């Protein structure tokens, strides 16, 4: 019973020795310098915005004046299968972290063995039985003392990968929300354009009926026939546009339904109308907002994991210390297993130093170092890409705002021109070509205005995605 009675003290002392002797992760200062260098790329503020002021972060979906949009995003987050898969990957990495840290603790196992043997007649001694029974019930303890912190580095690398998976989940959730917003806006845009096209067909159908009656009355038959032919051609083109936009509505509905985790039946109503923006982008957004992006945080966690893996590989050059012990019972008779004389125990330790493995350890260290350099460059590229996305979205919002104002004025003027052309044509002061041209211009202006309004809404969602959340 010696080993069992001394086991708590034995384990405690070993842990104290191990914790006191752990080397810090090799290369930790290099990691700090590399990350600081990448962060130094960031400007003090975005170049597209002139001044630095504090912005209120109230939740980026609140920027859109639509409660239905929030409901659609909630549905997507609760039912989307890709997001559920990302959550399962987080659970996997949690289990991997536990497994990576298992070697920090002693391995305890027990077994029962029974054997029976017979000695040859010419080798038997006086007092020994011909048949020999042996029963064993030992408890084995084995532990590699992590004196240099190699196992701790491997465990920390697994923890960093787990944190990276958690950040990937948050990134997937943010991306799903932004994609749902963009798709919902695209559906509302397609529905608005379809309604405009159907209205245009109805207007042209009324105009064509008037021309048909004029031709039937025989007033200037040659001109009436030309006007009717031109109107019918435009009517057919308008009907073709309706079918084209119906197809866009149908495709977008099915895409949104898949995002919401449902069957793509093509029946989702969506927003019904384009929402409006409740506020403009605050000027002077600090670039530090970008560093909260989950995908960048995940890249930084992977960089840390690569450093820890490199440190563990380099510590494999150092000797390893292993402690083993056994405590149990052995006897020739089962009913004598519990007597004090049947007790057995042993304690042993060993130190192992590798001298030659054909370059395996060195190659592993070189591989992990190269993997760290790869993660560093990937992290740098991700940061630069994020800066580009934010700057592009900020600049695009200004362009689209100005374009919206211009198209709004153009649509107003085109509608007025259409009304004037209609009046002049009814008075016989202009031909049908002028009327059809004015009508087409008004239709194009209204369509362009709807498209730009929708694009600005999608750009706002892109900006929030690029910033990793609200302002």
**pLDDT per residue rounded down to tens, the chain (471 residues):** 333 444 444 444 444 444 444 566 666 677 677 777 666 655 544 344 333 333 333 368 888 988 999 899 989 998 999 989 988 988 888 888 888 877 777 778 777 777 767 666 555 555 555 666 666 777 777 777 777 777 888 888 888 888 888 888 888 899 999 999 999 999 999 999 999 999 888 888 877 776 666 666 655 566 667 777 777 888 888 889 999 999 999 999 999 999 999 999 989 998 989 999 888 888 777 777 777 788 888 888 888 888 888 888 787 777 777 777 777 666 666 666 566 666 767 777 777 777 777 777 788 788 888 888 888 888 888 888 888 888 899 899 889 989 999 999 998 888 888 888 878 777 777 777 787 788 888 888 999 999 999 999 999 999 988 888 877
Do residues 273 and 192 touch, judged by C-beta distance below 8 A? Answer: yes
In a 10 Å sphere around its CB, with 0-12 CB exposed, 13-18 middle and 19+ buried, how is residue 432 labelled? Answer: buried
Q: Which tokens hold the place of 75?
A: 């549905």
Cα Rg, the chain, nearest whole Å: 38
Strand partners, 115: 134
**Cβ(174)–Cβ(468) below 8 Å:** yes
d(Cα 457, Cα 59) in Å, to the nearest integer? 16
Torsion sign across C-alpha atoms 6, 8, 9, 13:
positive
Q: Residue written as tokens 């001394």?
A: 6
Which pLDDT score, from 0 to 100, does residue 98 have? 83
CA distance 239 to 242: 5
Interhelix angle 67-79/150-217, nearest 10 degrees:
130
> Is the domain defined by 26-107+148-321+361-467 classed in CATH 2.60.40.10?
no
What the block records as the tokens of 201 is 């067909």
Q: Measure Cα distances from 183 to 78, 136, 195, 270, 377 in Å.
A: 17, 70, 18, 9, 33
pLDDT for the residue 278: 86
Nearest to 312 by CA among 103, 54, 33: 103
Closest CA to 286 of 41, 34, 59, 47: 47
- In angstroms, the Cα distances linking 420 to 194, 238, 312, 316 are 25, 21, 81, 87
Whole-angstrom Cα distance, residue 433 to residue 425?
10
Contacts of 266 (CB under 8 A, 6+ apart): 250, 253, 254, 257
Residue 342: predicted pLDDT = 62
d(CA 131, CA 120): 10
Tokens of 17: 């020795």
Matching residue, tokens 């996305």: 389
DSSP annotation of 218:
T
Q: Rounded CA gap, 432 and 421, in Å?
A: 9
Contact call for residues 446 and 196 (beta carbons, < 8 A): yes
Element (H or E) spanning 323, and its range?
strand 320-331
User: Can you give the pLDDT at residue 15?
Assistant: 44
Are 179 and 445 in contact, with CB atoms under 8 Å apart? no
CB atoms inside a 10 Å sphere around CB 322: 13
Q: What is the rounded CA–CA span in Å between residue 325 and residue 343?
A: 14
């Amino acid at each position: 019973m010696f080993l069992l009675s001394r086991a708590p003290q034995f384990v405690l002392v070993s842990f104290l020795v191990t914790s006191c002797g752990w080397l810090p992760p090799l290369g930790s200062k290099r990691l700090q310098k590399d990350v600081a260098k990448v962060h130094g790329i960031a400007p003090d503020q975005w170049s597209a915005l002139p001044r630095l002021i504090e912005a209120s972060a109230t939740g980026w979906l609140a920027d859109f004046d639509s409660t239905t949009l929030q409901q659609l995003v909630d549905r997507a987050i609760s039912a989307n299968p890709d997001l559920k898969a990302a959550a399962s990957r987080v659970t996997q990495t949690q289990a991997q972290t536990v497994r990576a840290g298992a070697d920090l603790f002693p391995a305890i196992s027990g077994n029962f063995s029974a054997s029976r043997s017979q000695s040859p007649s010419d080798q038997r001694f006086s007092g020994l039985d011909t048949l020999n029974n042996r029963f064993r019930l030992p408890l084995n303890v084995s532990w590699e003392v992590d004196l240099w912190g190699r196992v701790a580095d491997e465990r920390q690398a697994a923890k960093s990968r787990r944190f990276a998976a958690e950040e990937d989940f948050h990134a997937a959730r943010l991306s799903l929300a932004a994609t749902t917003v963009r798709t919902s806006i695209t559906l509302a845009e397609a529905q608005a354009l379809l309604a405009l096209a159907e209205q245009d067909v109805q207007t042209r159908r009324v105009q064509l009926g008037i021309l048909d009656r004029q031709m039937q009355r025989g007033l200037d038959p040659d001109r009436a026939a030309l006007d009717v032919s031109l109107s019918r051609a435009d009517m057919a083109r308008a009907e073709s546009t309706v079918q084209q936009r119906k197809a866009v509505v149908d495709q977008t509905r099915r895409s949104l339904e898949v995002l919401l985790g449902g069957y793509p039946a093509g029946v989702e109503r969506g927003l019904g109308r384009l929402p409006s923006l409740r506020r403009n982008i605050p000027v002077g957004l600090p670039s530090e907002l970008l560093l909260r992006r989950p995908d960048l945080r995940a890249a930084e966690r992977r960089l840390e994991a690569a450093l820890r893996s490199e440190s563990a590989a380099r510590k494999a050059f150092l000797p390893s210390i292993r402690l083993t012990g056994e405590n149990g019972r052995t006897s020739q008779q089962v009913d004598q297993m519990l007597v004090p004389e049947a007790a057995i125990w042993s304690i042993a330790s060993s130190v192992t130093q590798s001298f030659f493995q054909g370059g395996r350890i060195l190659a592993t260290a070189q591989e992990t170092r190269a993997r760290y350099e790869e993660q560093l460059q990937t992290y740098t590229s991700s940061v630069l890409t994020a800066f580009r996305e934010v700057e592009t979205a900020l600049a695009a919002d200004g362009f689209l705002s100005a374009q919206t104002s211009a198209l709004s004025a153009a649509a107003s003027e085109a509608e007025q021109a259409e009304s004037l052309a209609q009046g002049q044509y009814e008075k016989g002061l202009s031909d049908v070509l002028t009327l059809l041209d004015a009508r087409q211009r008004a239709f194009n202006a209204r369509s362009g205005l709807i498209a730009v309004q929708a694009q600005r809404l999608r750009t706002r969602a892109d900006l929030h995605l690029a910033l990793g959340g609200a302002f």
